[in-house]
Structures are given as C-alpha cells and as structure tokens.
Amino acid sequence: MLANREMEQINSEALKALQFERLHKTLEWAYSKSSFYRNKFDESECDPKQFESLTDIEKFPFTLSKELQQVSAMDLLTLPLSGVARISLWEHPQPTVHMYTINDIAANVEMTSRVLTAAGISRASIVGLLGDMADSGLFDAQQALEAIGAAAVPLSTDYERTLKLLEAAHVDTIIGSARRILRLVIQLQASGLEISNFPLHKILCLNETLQNPLKMHLEKRTGTEVYDLFSSAEFGCIGMFFQCEGHVGQHIQQDYFYPEIVAFGGNEVIHEFNCMGELVLTTLTAEAMPLIRYRTGQAVMITDEPCTCGRTFIRIITPMSSF
C-alpha cells in the first residue's frame, strides 16, 4: 500500500527538479534567517545565490553534532517564537529542544503516514503508542494514524494503564522504543502473562540509530514482525526513512531530505551507488530549524535498485542489512 502514490512513485527527473527547487529555497532561507548558518556560510564564503545545480550543495559546509551541542535552539531558529506551533524535548541520545512551524508538523505527519502505510497499517488497524505522549514523534504518529483512519491507543508509560488498554482495545500493532517494548514484555511475564497471547502481530520500533541490534530478539520474544524507524533528535521526526514489506533497507523520503554519502573520516562525496560511507542529510522543507549537510555518523550505502514495493525512492542499506 502507498499513502501518496504520486510522490512515492515519482520519476527521477521530476524528483531532481523538486529537490533543486526546495534545496535552493532552504539554503536562502537558512542564510537569511538563521544566525548559525549565516555565520557558517560567510566563514566558508558560500553564497546561496551561486547554487545552480544539486551537486553545488557540496560547496557548502557540513553541520556537525558537536556544533549543535554548543549552540541553543534559538541560534538555529529561523523565525520569532510567535511563528512556532510546537516546542518539544527529544531526550535521546541527549536532551535536544526542537521547534516546529505548522507546516513542519504537517510535513512530519505526511511522512509518518507513508511510514505507517508501508508497514501495512490501515483503517482496520488498532495501534498502541507506547511511551510519553509528550514525545513529539509519538504525537506525529497519533495524528498520522487518525489521518489514515486507524485507531490510535495512547498506552502511556504506566504498566497498569497499558495492560488495561491492551486487553480492552485488542491492540494489533505497537509503536515504541525497543527499551520500552522489552520492559513491557518483562512486566507482562512478571504478571504471569505472555505478550504472544495478545492479538499483537506487528511492532514499529523507534531507534536512535539506523541499525537495531535488538530486532531479531524482539521478533523472537514477541512473535511479531518488526519494522525499524529512525527516531532522530537532531531532525525532530520519526519519518525520515521507512521499511516496506520487502525489509531490504529503508526508503529515504527524498522529497523532504537530500542525502549524500561521504567518505569516513573525510569530506569526499561518494557518488557511486552501493559504496559504504557516512550518511549526510539536508532538510528540504523544514522552516523553523533547517539543517544543512548534517553528518549523522551513520554508516550506510545507497542503492538505486528497483524495490519490489514499487516505490521509486532510493534506499539506504546498513552493514547489518541483508539483500
């Protein structure tokens, strides 16, 4: 199933044209509205007006994690607080404040809708959201579920409340972090219950990295199919990438992010497909807090091989993925 067939099956030329338009706008927006990026671009003698092709992004400086740790959210913010629609705190891997405009929220909900649909969630699904609903990612998931027409069941972090809802609502899918899901499994066992006795058949696991070392363990312990989602504090969303039913790599939401692969420990961009390197990402539509060429520290390679699901978005493959 596809949530947005027109975009998820866009042809490469139309996608490149869209990416160029959005990337050009993002560079100009960041330079004119963000003190952080104005200083970075000036120091590197980069002018957004000289951006004439997608590959020109390589002339712009990288954004590093340590830089973001040394500045406040206000340094990255591109507009006054009166233009902000949501402020959230992402706690992992370290506390990070993220701000959103109403358009940023709409983009996150659209991306999350695609993620959920790719995992087979439909109007017939009953989906439990395991965690603190102050989590912006789970909040986006709830809105996306409601947009799809699926039943959203906030399970919170309280075990007794979660158990009652699992029993009453007949939850068939859970969205949450591996840590919280494993804790739930243990709590159920301590109460003489097995999660396999519930009608649960699917888990969408929120991960702080692109690789989920607990995936096989979770599938074995819960008897479910596990889909991995990258929960990024820096980008403030959970829908950047998604697995389809093929489970071979993760599709990149290329209308919202521009990916590059850079040589480990260097600055050379790797243009060839199927070559491992560090994933670098640039936001294409983020208004409140755009990120330009952020070095994620994630080891991946990009494949353009056609996917059996029919989506034309390229996929990233991690060292633990299998073809």
pLDDT in tens, 268-301: 999 999 999 999 999 999 999 999 999 999 999 9
In contact, 166 and 155? CB cutoff 8 Å: yes
- CA distance linking residue 169 with residue 153, whole number of Å: 8
Write b or e for each residue in 62-87: b if 16 or more Cβ atoms lie within 10 A of its Cβ, otherwise e: bbeeebbeeeebeebbbeeeeebebe
* Residue 275 falls inside a structural domain: yes
Residue 255 has pLDDT above 60, yes or no: yes
pLDDT in tens, 172-193: 999 999 889 999 999 999 999 9
* Confidence class for position 322, pLDDT limits 50, 70, 90: very low
Domain that holds residue 238: 5-317
Q: Which two tokens stand for residue 279?
A: 């994933």
* Residue 323 falls inside a structural domain: no
Q: What is the DSSP letter of 307?
A: P
Mean of all residue pLDDT scores within the chain: 93
**Which percentage of the chain shows pLDDT scores above 90?**
82
Tally of structural domains, the chain: 1
pLDDT in tens, 99-125: 999 999 999 999 999 999 999 999 999
Q: Check which CATH number belongs to the domain holding 159 and give it.
A: 3.40.50.12780
pLDDT in tens, 121-168: 999 999 999 998 888 999 999 999 999 999 999 998 899 999 999 999
* Residue 47 falls inside a structural domain: yes
Report the side by side order of strands in the sheet with 315-317: 241-242, 250-252, 315-317, 294-303, 277-283, 257-262
